[in-house]
Amino acid sequence: MEARLPMKHAVTLLSLLPVFLGLMGCETNPYTGRHQLLMTSVAEEMNLGTQAYSQVKSDPKVRLSQDPRDVEPVKRVAARIIEAAKRSKYAEMAQQFQWEVTVIKDDKTMNAFALPGGKIAVYTGIFPVAKTEAGLAAVLGHEVVHALARHGAERMSQGQLTNAALQVAGAAIGASGSNPLLGQAAMAALGAGAQVGVLLPFSRSHESEADYIGILLAAEAGYDPRESVHLWERMEQLSGGGGPSEFLSTHPGHETRIQQLKKWMAEALSIYHTKTPVSAVELPQVGSR
């Protein structure tokens, strides 16, 4: 006889999953007070970051820049952001990281990332958007916060929670005796609901959190945090004001981002005005080398 899970019991288990899994590891972001579900250790996360970084660097399609015109400004900005991180509320985490900075020669890719463990990569395609070292500081402050705030581990934990919830819901749907095709449709709808209602909003909250704390780090490092607004204004111009609906995007819309940065600017400037300002040196031109 096939065991069946009554719908009311499935619903009960579904509602209790966040409680059960939350007991496995919950931390609070020291800047925003947001609670984070974390089911992966820092050591595991750093190991994954190191492995991913090695894969990127060993990819035959990836060209690592050795040109000092590219490398020196990136390393200069990264060093100041790292030192600011070591004085921040993430100081303990920043001290644990084995920081490494790589510049990838790819003028068409407007990107940068920081992996758990402090593994940073900057694509030269971000230079025209960042424009100056202060603009790059806004980018790197944002990316470094993703690593320090353990956003990657949080996303993995959210994925595990969602998968567990879907398995419980799937058991309830399978036990309902309904048409199998209807069950599959319901599961597909539930999966989409989980994706839009759970995973994407958390990703947007990560992006906003990284924007906020990132400009505080940039200001602590001596870079004018107002450059972050100019950075996203340029990004908006490049996108033509288009892009996917914010509701279905993992990132806040450009205008939302700009308005949020302006709201947080007074706090960032209060830090910046206590530091010796770092001049906004122009980043190198790309496309001609």
**Are 123 and 104 contacting, i.e. CB atoms less than 8 angstroms apart?**
yes
Average pLDDT in the 60-74 region? 97
Distance CA 74, CA 122 (A): 8
pLDDT at 161: 64
Quick one: angle between helices 133-148 and 68-86, nearest 10?
A: 50
pLDDT given for residue 252 in this prediction = 78
In a domain, 201, yes or no: yes
**In this structure, is residue 62 part of a structural domain?**
yes
What are the tens digits of pLDDT across the range 155-192?
A: 877 766 666 555 555 555 454 444 443 344 433 433 43
Q: Which residue has the higher pLDDT, 162 or 238?
A: 238
Domain membership flag for residue 243: yes
> Do residues 215 and 228 touch, judged by C-beta distance below 8 A?
yes
Of 9-23, 36-50, 252-266, 268-282, minimum mean pLDDT range? 9-23
Report CA-CA distances (Å) from 170 to 178, 261, 282.
Answer: 12, 41, 55
| The pLDDT of residue 162 | 61
Q: Please tell me the distance from the alpha carbon of residue 253 to that of residue 288, in angstroms, as a whole number.
A: 32
Give residue 39's pLDDT.
Answer: 83
Report the candidate in 144, 122, 125 with the shortest Cα–Cα distance to residue 218: 144
Angle (CA) 93 97 102, round 5°:
135
The verdict on whether 255 is a catalytic residue reads no
Catalytic residue among 27, 45, 72, 143: 143
pLDDT tens per residue, range 13-22: 445 445 444 4
Identify the top-confidence range among 41-45, 158-162, 163-167, 251-255: 41-45
Residue 30: what pLDDT?
96
Do the bridges between strand 35-37 and strand 26-28 make them parallel or antiparallel, or are there none, so unpaired?
antiparallel
More confident residue, 224 or 196: 224
Average pLDDT, the chain: 81
pLDDT at 258: 94
> Does 54 reside within a domain?
yes
pLDDT at 250: 63
State both tokens at 102.
């790589």
Domain boundaries, position 108: 21-272
**What pLDDT does 156 receive?**
79
Q: Residue 50 falls within a domain, yes or no?
A: yes
pLDDT of residue 170: 53
Rounded Cα distance, 76 and 81, in Å: 9
pLDDT in tens, 95-147: 999 999 999 999 999 999 999 999 999 999 999 999 999 999 999 999 999 99
What is the pLDDT, as a whole number, of residue 246?
Answer: 54
Percent of the chain with pLDDT over 90: 58
Q: Number of folded domains in the chain?
A: 1
Phi-psi region of 99 (alpha: psi -120 to 50; beta: other; left: phi over 0): beta
Whether residue 84 is contained in a domain is answered as yes
Residue 194 to residue 187: CA distance in whole angstroms: 10
234 falls within a domain: yes
In a domain, 280, yes or no: no
pLDDT value of residue 137: 98
Q: Which tops the pLDDT comparison, 175 or 219?
A: 219
Structure confidence at residue 179 (pLDDT) = 45
